[in-house]
Amino acid sequence: MTSFLNALRAEHIKSRRSFAAWLAGAGTGANLLMFWVLHLADTRWVHAHDNPWRGWVTGHYQGIAFMMLPLFVIILTSLVAFQEHRRDMWMQLLALPTARSALFFSKFLWMYGLFVAAHLAFIVGMLLTGALTGLLLPATGLLGHWPAPGQVALLASYTLFSVLGLAALHFWLSLVFRHFIIPLTIGILGFVLVQLLGPASFLARWLPYGPPVQFMPAYESGIVWQWQPVVCSLAYAVVFGVVGRWAFLRMRP
Amino acid sequence: MQPLLQTTHLSFAHPGNDPVVQDVHLLVPEGSLYGLLGPNGAGKSTLLKLIAGLWRPTKGDIRIFGRPLAQQQPTLYKRIGLQIEGPQLYHHLSGRENLRVFATCRGLPEKRIDELLALTGMTDHAYRKVGAYSTGMKQRLGIALALLPDPELLILDEPTNGLDPTGIADVRALLHHLQQAGKTLVVSSHLLAEMEQICTHVGLLHQGRLIAQGPIGELMPGNGQTPLRIECAAPEQALPLLPGAVRGADGLLHLEVPGKEHIPPLLEQLRQAGILVYQVRITPMRLEERYLSLIKEQP
């Protein structure tokens, strides 16, 4: 356990000024800015529900479910692994008196932690830009209501669970393929395939790229909690976690 | 001295390819500075990866600290430090942060980082990003990284690569200092003349095979052998007339004779063949010449 925690602390030191940390921060900021501009340009969300915050939050999650979630996770995962591939750092990492499983899971947890931190920052930014919008445009009614904590918690939970399978798949791919472009290309193809099939199609529902883009359309149609994408994502996380660990144990620097 | 590292019949080949390392019997005595020498492509880095346990051999055994290597992973890495095909460093981090990453993984205190920065002369550059370092600074930081666990065995691959003469002298002094401090070092290099100055033992690699090894003094020609260098007008014509002669990188013919009395007959032979001799020198044989003569003896 100590070696796992030490490896996790080392990941924290490594992430300073890294591309992955930069992406988590700048990517989240850029998305917030884009969604803010879009919500100011088209204010139909104000009257979609009794509470304008419901439309504000739903609009933001529609945006990230379509473009941010899958690609963000794919790029983030690739960057975390590429940091080690790029300078052959595996030669040093695999010569540590630390069990390979501890190295594998600490790196995966750190990568997922970056995603969670970016998503929490997204939620805070979404609420702050909402309040600012209410201040600038009183007619939206945002300052006259409170955001619904249950809605935010539900959509945040969907988001965090739905990307786990995809993250595990791409963590494995990023370890196996040393060139950044290969897992990225596979990810983009998977993402495009799901979009072409349609998120609600039978095949897309069972692909690891499906869950992150699947829950929002169902949520908008009134289905509050959906087990299928969550269970599917968790199952993929277990399968690719096992496969990835197996590959990592056999990895040669 | 007891062997700290020993390999028997060690071989390695990438699937479907010719062997890179063939039937190597390495013997590294404790406390030695062992130079693993040979040209580029001789299999030095592969051999180092095998003895460090990073690659699995196709055949053969490796014993380290008196026990099979495979039984000691990963705790073995508390006792060995390495830098192979390196230095491997995070360029977006400072020198100190690079050391901190690995010190944290190993559970070592901050004090150890300060010690190593001082030992390798990197204290003044500790807060600069590694991406802005010179090749020499990266090499020194790489050595500091390998020294983090205060290893009993230090494995370094071409530590003087890309260094200027001052940098090479600094690394040479550091390696000598570490050996004097009781550490065992296995250092690979293709710069035989450099390594000859500091190694206590050498192993000469040629096409994946260890063609000779032992204390450096024992590898040189035995007593009674007189090493000669001959400069002549047609060295290629002269070679078949001089048994055991090789053409050195300096363009001269290098050979050994049992004694000085054998020199005049050789010169007479060249004179009779119509080959003009410009100079004959008796010179102590260098490691590089010994390597070349050993290669010539290979089947």
pLDDT beyond 60 at B223? no
Question: Is the C-alpha dihedral spanning B77, B78, B79, B80 positive or negative?
Answer: positive
pLDDT beyond 70 at B226? yes
Q: How far is B239 from chain A (nearest CA, A)?
A: 45
Would the CB atoms of A92 and B55 count as touching at under 8 Å?
no
pLDDT beyond 80 at B148? yes
Q: How far is B81 from chain A (nearest CA, A)?
A: 8
Q: Is B181 on the interface with A (CB under 8 A)?
A: no
B229-to-A206, B163, B196, B253, B255 alpha-carbon distances in Å: 77, 30, 20, 5, 7
Q: Is B9 on the interface with A (CB under 8 A)?
A: no
d(CA B185, CA B179) in angstroms, rounded, equals 7
pLDDT values of chain A reduced to their tens digit, one per residue, 253 residues = 888 999 999 999 999 889 999 999 999 999 999 999 998 888 888 877 888 999 999 989 988 887 678 888 999 999 999 999 999 999 999 999 999 999 999 999 999 999 999 999 999 999 999 999 999 989 888 888 999 898 899 999 999 999 999 999 999 999 999 888 999 999 999 988 988 888 778 888 888 998 888 877 777 776 667 788 889 999 999 999 999 999 999 998 8
Q: How confident is the model at residue B221 (pLDDT cuts 50, 70, 90)?
A: low
d(CA A240, CA A250) in angstroms, rounded, equals 15
Q: In this predicted structure, what is the pLDDT of residue A126?
A: 95
Per the CB < 8 A criterion, the answer to whether A38 and A129 are in contact is no
Q: In this predicted structure, what is the pLDDT of residue B152?
A: 95
For chain B, give the secondary structure using H, E and C. Answer: CCEEEEEEEEEEECCCCCEEEEEECCEEECCCEEEEECCCCCCHHHHHHHHCCCCCCCEEEEEECCEEHHHHCCHHHHCEEEECCCCCCCCCCEHHHHHHHHHHHHCCCHHHHHHHHHHCCCHHHCCCEHHHCCHHHHHHHHHHHHHCCCCCEEEEECCCCCCCHHHHHHHHHHHHHHHHCCCEEEEEECCHHHHHCCCCEEEEEECCEEEEEEEHHHHCCCCCCEEEEEEECCHHHHHHHCCCCEECCCCCEEEEECCHHHHHHHHHHHHHCCCCEEEEEECCCCHHHHHHHHHHHCC
Kindly report the backbone phi and psi dihedral angles of residue B134, in degrees, each rounded to the nearest multiple of 5, phi listed first: -80, 170
d(CA B108, CA B116) in angstroms, rounded, equals 12
> What's the pTM?
0.84
Would the CB atoms of B107 and A94 count as touching at under 8 Å?
no
d(CA B57, CA B47) in angstroms, rounded, equals 9
Left, alpha or beta for A222 (phi > 0: left; psi -120 to 50: alpha)? left
Half-sphere exposure of A225 (CA within 13 A, CB side): 6
Chain B contact set for A110 (CB, 8 A): none
All residues at 6 or more sequence positions from B182 whose CB lies less than 8 Å from its CB, including other chains: B31
Chain B contact set for A94 (CB, 8 A): 54
pLDDT beyond 90 at B23? yes
Strands of B201-206's sheet in order across = B80-83, B153-157, B184-189, B33-37, B201-206, B209-215
Token output for B14: 């990438």
Chain B contact set for A4 (CB, 8 A): none
Would the CB atoms of B74 and A99 count as touching at under 8 Å?
yes
What is the chain A residue with the closest CA to B46? Answer: A253
Q: What percent of chain B has pLDDT over 90?
A: 63
Cα R_g (chain A), whole angstroms: 19
Residues of chain A numbered 72-131 and touching chain B (CB < 8 Å)? 83, 87-89, 91-100
Mean pLDDT of B203-207: 92
All residues at 6 or more sequence positions from A28 whose CB lies less than 8 Å from its CB, including other chains: A118, A119, A121, A122, A125
Question: Measured in Å, how far apart are chain B's first and last C-alpha atoms?
Answer: 32
Interface predicted TM-score (ipTM) of this complex, two decimals: 0.88
Q: Is B227 on the interface with A (CB under 8 A)?
A: no
Average pLDDT, chain B: 90
d(CA A36, CA B246) in angstroms, rounded, equals 78
All residues at 6 or more sequence positions from B95 whose CB lies less than 8 Å from its CB, including other chains: B117, B122, B125, B126, B127, B128, B130, B133, B137, B141
Per the CB < 8 A criterion, the answer to whether B125 and B93 are in contact is no
Per the CB < 8 A criterion, the answer to whether B68 and B74 are in contact is no
All residues at 6 or more sequence positions from B134 whose CB lies less than 8 Å from its CB, including other chains: none
Would the CB atoms of A97 and B74 count as touching at under 8 Å?
yes
Chain B contact set for A248 (CB, 8 A): none
d(CA B192, CA B267) in angstroms, rounded, equals 30
The residue whose two tokens read 């039937």 is: B23
Q: Count Cβ–Cβ pairs < 8 Å, chain A vs chain B.
A: 75
Residues of chain B numbered 51-70 and touching chain A (CB < 8 Å)? 52-55
What is the chain B residue with the closest CA to A22? Answer: B92
pLDDT beyond 70 at B224? no
ω into residue A212 within 30 of 0, thus cis?
Answer: no
Per the CB < 8 A criterion, the answer to whether B198 and B172 are in contact is yes
Q: Is A228 on the interface with B (CB under 8 A)?
A: no
Would the CB atoms of B101 and A14 count as touching at under 8 Å?
yes
ω into residue B57 within 30 of 0, thus cis?
Answer: no
pLDDT beyond 70 at B76? yes
Mean pLDDT of B88-100: 96
Token output for A228: 């299928």
Strands of B253-257's sheet in order across = B246-247, B253-257, B226-232, B277-282
All residues at 6 or more sequence positions from A217 whose CB lies less than 8 Å from its CB, including other chains: A199, A200
